Structure 1
């Protein structure tokens, strides 16, 4: 899979665009800037937006091409982000470090995704927020992007169970119109959540 993502990000253009995800932007704009964690950040569209808003951003992805493009983008926009080459299963933060985290279209096998959620919850301070948007299993059959393997898609019951230790502020499965580069375009079924660490 690492080769797949390096190949996808090897183009000169930003395949998911340079604008932040709309749901992420709406949520992050409502919060006071602090320390932000962005796993699976790709080419940096959300990291750069947050950094321009005053957030101190720590991002990671396992694609070297993604990191290069994200750092190039940040430099061009006059901001700084911390970006590490890591996979979801080898990243760990053992103390409450971050004021917010976001998983935006981060799709992983359910066992790895469960471990990542657990590690993120540990890494968030009390009162910290986790923002999530990803393709629902109901996305199967749509041509607007996302994995074709149900194990990589979000199941509402499963995701909600992973978030039980938190205060759930928003949880919805909805149809939305995506316009995020060439791979996220058209009507799509997504699950969105915002939760607060007690």
Structure 2
């Protein structure tokens, strides 16, 4: 099924309702189990830097993972919107004070000395990637801003999609929710474990590449 704005918007509306329906206590329990799987990844252990979105509302929690990374002595960077489809990543520390954006998202302060050059990071870097849903091949449905689509094209490290199992779909392409330029994440982690292989070719959806179901 070809991707259309209508297909994507209908699916986003359905998935947001499904996510809210999980309830706060179930989401918290699921997210705690999911975090344990992330912390058990050898790539997490080896990563000198973790790029992490700052979770809000019903998103999969990243605050625990950020705290764990900082406690382990890793560098941690969080994103700030700096233009259409553009994120800048700034290092953050323990007890960091964030700015609340007009979209209601916490962002790091714009401090040039803390700016991270994403394109210069090596394969051992690790990024936590948000999404309304992921599929078995690692493709994601985001919120429509295109920020992480652009980010994945520049990032050479391990990209980890955080996904509750209720939001893990078989195929976003079959639902008309992928486009030819979309790239999959390296690995999807749910509260049940991991889906996918440890490395992947950076090939767009139009060429049928992605991570294989576990």
Same fold, judged at TM 0.5 (above): no
The TM-score with structure 2 as length reference comes to: 0.41
The TM-score with structure 1 as length reference comes to: 0.43
